Structure 1
Amino acid sequence: MQTATTSSSSIPTAGVLTPNQYVLGGKGVRVEFSATSITGESLLHYQDATHEVNARGEEIRQQETELGTLVTVTLEPDADAGALLLSVIIPRAQLQDTRGEVQIVTNAVLTRSRFPRLPADAQLQTYRFLSLRGVATFVVS
Structure 2
Amino acid sequence: MVQTPATSVRQANLFELSNDCVQIVYSTTSFSGRPQLNYLNKDQKFNFQGDEIRVQETEIGSLVTVTLETIPDLLTRTLSLLVPLVNLRGEDLQTLIQTIAIETVSRTTIGGPDLVDGAVQTYETIFLKGQARFVVF
The TM-score, its normalising length taken from structure 2, stands at 0.87
Tell me how large the CA RMSD over aligned residues is: 2.0
Report if aligned partners of 2:26, 2:35 keep a CA contact under 8 Å in 1: yes
- Provide the secondary structure at the position in 2 that maps to 1:92: coil
Name the CA distance, whole Å, in 2 between partners of 1:46 and 1:59.
Answer: 13
Aligned residues: 132
- Change in CA separation of 1:128 and 1:16 when aligned onto 2, cut-off 3 Å: same
The TM-score, its normalising length taken from structure 1, stands at 0.85
User: Which sections of structure 1, spanning at least 5 residues, go unmatched?
Assistant: 4-12
Map residues 125-136 of structure 1 onto 2, 5 A cutoff.
125-136=121-132
Q: Equivalent residue for 1:25? A: 18
User: Which sections of structure 2, spanning at least 5 residues, go unmatched?
Assistant: none
- Provide the secondary structure at the position in 1 that maps to 2:10: coil
Q: Which amino acid aligns with 1:135?
A: Q
1:49 Cα shift? 1.4
Report if aligned partners of 2:72, 2:110 keep a CA contact under 8 Å in 1: no
Q: Equivalent residue for 1:65? A: 58
Name the CA distance, whole Å, in 1 between partners of 2:67 and 2:116.
Answer: 26
Report if aligned partners of 1:29, 1:46 keep a CA contact under 8 Å in 2: yes
Report if aligned partners of 2:108, 2:116 keep a CA contact under 8 Å in 1: no
Q: Which amino acid aligns with 2:16?
A: V
1:2 Cα shift? 5.9
